[in-house]
């Protein structure tokens, strides 16, 4: 897949962009590559890879084969499908498409992202095995390891993988797998994927990258050395808040065969309708990601300049502690921004309550702008102390910047910030007045 299209996506800070919230500011579409400059195969693979018109009818889109079972000519004589828990033509089309995009054999597609992660762990690990995991990862992955797999004798070490030396130090004789997320949910902390891949190669450990936040369009995880790539297709890949789903890709056919057996046995395959919606959403992934990134950069720059915002994390900002690494391994900043407001938790909660255009909801990577309170929503499984140590404070707001007009997103944030900060000032004044009485 040719990916040059994204190397220039998003402006760097200091390019002299006018106030993005001002009417008539430059349209974010300026950062979206046109098809001619995008590299043919990126768009072509995503739209056509592994797909062909329906042989029975000529339908240009793969039909939804909503069928439990497939009639066999004789015992053992069939057209490749027997029962939809083990395989379905619509799901298989999505699996071929994703494989072609990544340059791997067909993917395995699952009912959810967590089903993909669970199948990998169940299929590759045994009692007594050890895994090394990024200390900041999606809360469900932590829950799976601590509250489910620990009981089956799998031990996990959560380490700060942003320093590759920590990975090397944590790998022991029983370590079978290193699992990283970069950027991490929700702090956006990065891990140097190539540096960790060097370590896992030497130790013979499987490197798994959860590439949900960027997808291969913005971060070529296999090119950087991953052995397995995981997606929650619920996010950018489907992109329209319509489905939940997951995918797993690998080059090793033997590993894929083992995982396909576990998937069919446990019963966690994707459904044909969800697969069809995902196939449809996927066709516009590069265009959506370009605009998500351009919008997110505009919003992050605006937030950074706001006096009521104390901290903004976005990999394409110069102030981002790992900005150099971001530009080395990513093609743009992606659509996720996190920030904290003056006064901490109370104004953060008030801000989220006051939004009108942006929605307070648990998901990311879709066309609508969503805000999430990570401490109480996606990362509630961690203790308050653990969250604080990882930088997931109670005042942290995670913003999945959508595809709306960025000036409208900014105007909504502006009015919500004003409400939130005024509310805090009023509370402080009341407290002072009460104290004086």
Ligand X SMILES: Cc1ncc(COP(=O)(O)O)c(C=O)c1O
Query: What is the chain's alpha carbon radius of gyration, rounded to the nearest angstrom?
Result: 23
Q: Rounded CA gap, 30 and 229, in Å? A: 31
Q: Rounded CA gap, 398 and 257, in Å? A: 37
Instruction: State the catalytic residue, choosing from 54, 85, 143, 252.
Output: 85
Which CB, 96 or 379, lies closer to ligand X? Answer: 379
Active site residue 260: no
3-state secondary structure at position 109:
strand
Which CB, 113 or 347, lies closer to ligand X? Answer: 113
For 159, phi then psi, to 5°, come to -130, 160
Number of residues that bind ligand X (CB under 6 A): 13
Give buried/exposed letters for 202-240 (b at 16+ CB in 10 A, else e).
Answer: ebebbbbbbbbbbbbbbbbbbbbbbbbbbbbbbbbbbbe
For tokens 């942290």, the residue is 396
Please, are residues 180 and 229 in contact by the beta-carbon 8 Å criterion?
no
Interface stretch with ligand X, choices 16-24, 112-120, 193-201, 293-301 (CB under 6 A): 112-120
Which CB, 20 or 245, lies closer to ligand X? Answer: 245
Q: Rounded CA gap, 183 and 191, in Å? A: 7
Residue 244 as a binder of ligand X (CB under 6 A): the answer is yes
Q: Which two tokens stand for residue 230?
A: 């995981």
3-state secondary structure at position 176:
strand
Instruction: State the catalytic residue, choosing from 210, 220, 227, 412.
Output: 210
Binding mask 363-402 for ligand X (x = CB under 6 A): ----------------------------------------
Binding mask 245-274 for ligand X (x = CB under 6 A): -x----------------------------
Q: Which of 112, 278, 295, 372 binds ligand X (CB under 6 A)?
A: 112
Q: Which of 95, 129, 210, 350 binds ligand X (CB under 6 A)?
A: 210
Q: Rounded CA gap, 108 and 124, in Å? A: 15
Q: Which residue's Cβ lies closest to ligand X?
A: 113
Active site residue 394: no
Taking phi over 0 as left and psi of -120 to 50 as alpha, with beta for the rest, 433 belongs to: alpha
Residue 179 as a binder of ligand X (CB under 6 A): the answer is no
Residue 100 as a binder of ligand X (CB under 6 A): the answer is no
Q: Rounded CA gap, 273 and 268, in Å? A: 15
Interface stretch with ligand X, choices 74-82, 85-93, 109-117, 164-172 (CB under 6 A): 109-117
Q: Which two tokens stand for residue 244?
A: 């939940």
Shortest separation between residue 227's beta carbon and ligand X, angstroms: 17
Hey, which residues between 300 and 329 contact ligand X (CB under 6 A)?
A: none
Hey, which residues between 119 and 178 contact ligand X (CB under 6 A)?
A: 138, 140
What is the distance, to the nearest Å, from the Cα of residue 300 to the centroid of all Cα atoms in its chain? 18
Shortest separation between residue 145's beta carbon and ligand X, angstroms: 13
Q: Specify the length of the chain in residues.
A: 437
What lies within 8 Å, CB to CB, of 371 at 6+ separation is: 352, 355, 358, 359, 360, 361, 397, 398, 399, 400
Q: Rounded CA gap, 310 and 333, in Å? A: 20
Interface stretch with ligand X, choices 43-51, 108-116, 334-342, 407-415 (CB under 6 A): 108-116
Active site residue 85: yes
What is the distance, to the nearest Å, from the Cα of residue 152 to the centroid of all Cα atoms in its chain? 28
Instruction: Verify cis geometry, omega within 30 degrees of 0, for the bond prior to 183.
Output: yes
Pick from 137, 296, 109, 145: nearest CA to 218? 296
Which CB, 13 or 139, lies closer to ligand X? Answer: 139
Active site residue 138: yes
Shortest separation between residue 36's beta carbon and ligand X, angstroms: 33
For 134, phi then psi, to 5°, come to -55, 140
Instruction: State the catalytic residue, choosing from 96, 235, 291, 298.
Output: 235
Pick from 246, 283, 273: nearest CA to 108? 246
Residue 191 as a binder of ligand X (CB under 6 A): the answer is no
Q: Which of 100, 157, 187, 212 binds ligand X (CB under 6 A)?
A: 212
Instruction: State the catalytic residue, choosing from 43, 65, 135, 138.
Output: 138
Shortest separation between residue 148's beta carbon and ligand X, angstroms: 14
Q: Which of 234, 271, 293, 322 binds ligand X (CB under 6 A)?
A: 234
Interface stretch with ligand X, choices 70-78, 107-115, 311-319, 404-412 (CB under 6 A): 107-115
Residue 421 as a binder of ligand X (CB under 6 A): the answer is no
Residues at the contact surface with ligand X, assessed by CB under 6 A: 112-114, 138, 140, 181, 185, 210, 212, 232, 234, 244, 246
Instruction: Give the residue numbers marked as catalytic.
Output: 85, 138, 210, 235
């Amino acid at each position: 897949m040719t990916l040059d299209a994204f190397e220039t996506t998003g402006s760097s800070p200091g390019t002299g962009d006018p106030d993005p919230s001002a009417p008539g500011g430059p349209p974010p579409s300026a950062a979206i590559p046109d098809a001619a400059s995008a590299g043919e195969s990126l768009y072509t693979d995503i739209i056509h890879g592994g797909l062909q018109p329906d042989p029975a009818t000529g339908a240009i889109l793969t039909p939804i084969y909503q069928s439990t079972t497939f009639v066999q000519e004789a015992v053992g004589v069939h057209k490749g499908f027997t029962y939809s828990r083990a395989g379905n033509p619509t799901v298989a089309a999505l699996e071929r498409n994703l494989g072609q995009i990544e340059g791997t054999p067909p993917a395995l597609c699952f009912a959810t992202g967590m089903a993909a992660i669970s199948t990998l762990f169940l299929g590759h690990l045994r009692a007594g095995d050890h895994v090394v995991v990024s200390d900041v990862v999606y809360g469900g992955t932590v829950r799976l390891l601590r509250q489910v797999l620990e009981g089956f004798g799998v031990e996990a070490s959560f380490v700060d993988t942003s320093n590759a030396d920590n990975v090397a130090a944590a790998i022991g004789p029983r370590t079978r797998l290193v699992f990283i997320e970069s950027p991490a949910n929700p702090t956006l902390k990065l891990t140097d994927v190539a540096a960790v891949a060097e370590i896992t190669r030497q130790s013979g450990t499987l490197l798994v990258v959860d590439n949900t936040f960027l997808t291969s369009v913005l971060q070529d995880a296999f090119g950087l050395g991953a052995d397995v790539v995981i997606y929650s297709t619920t996010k950018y890949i489907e992109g329209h808040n319509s489905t939940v789903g997951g995918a797993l890709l690998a080059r090793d056919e033997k590993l894929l065969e083992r995982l396909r057996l576990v998937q069919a046995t446990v019963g966690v395959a994707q459904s044909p309708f969800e697969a069809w919606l995902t196939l449809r959403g996927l066709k516009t992934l590069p265009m959506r990601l370009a605009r998500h990134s351009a919008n997110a950069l505009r919003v992050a720059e605006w937030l950074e300049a706001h006096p009521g915002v104390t901290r903004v994390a976005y990999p394409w900002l110069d102030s981002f502690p790992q900005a150099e690494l971001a530009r080395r391994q990513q093609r743009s900043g992606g659509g996720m921004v996190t920030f904290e407001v003056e006064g901490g938790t109370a104004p953060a909660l008030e801000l989220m309550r006051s939004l009108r255009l942006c929605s307070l909801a648990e998901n990311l990577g879709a066309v609508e702008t969503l805000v999430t309170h990570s401490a109480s929503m996606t990362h509630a499984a961690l203790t308050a102390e653990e969250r604080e140590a990882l930088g997931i404070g109670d005042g942290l707001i995670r913003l999945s910047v959508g595809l709306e007009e960025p000036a409208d997103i900014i105007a909504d944030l502006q009015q919500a910030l004003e409400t939130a900060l005024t509310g805090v000032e009023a509370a402080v004044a009341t407290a002072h007045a009460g104290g004086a009485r």
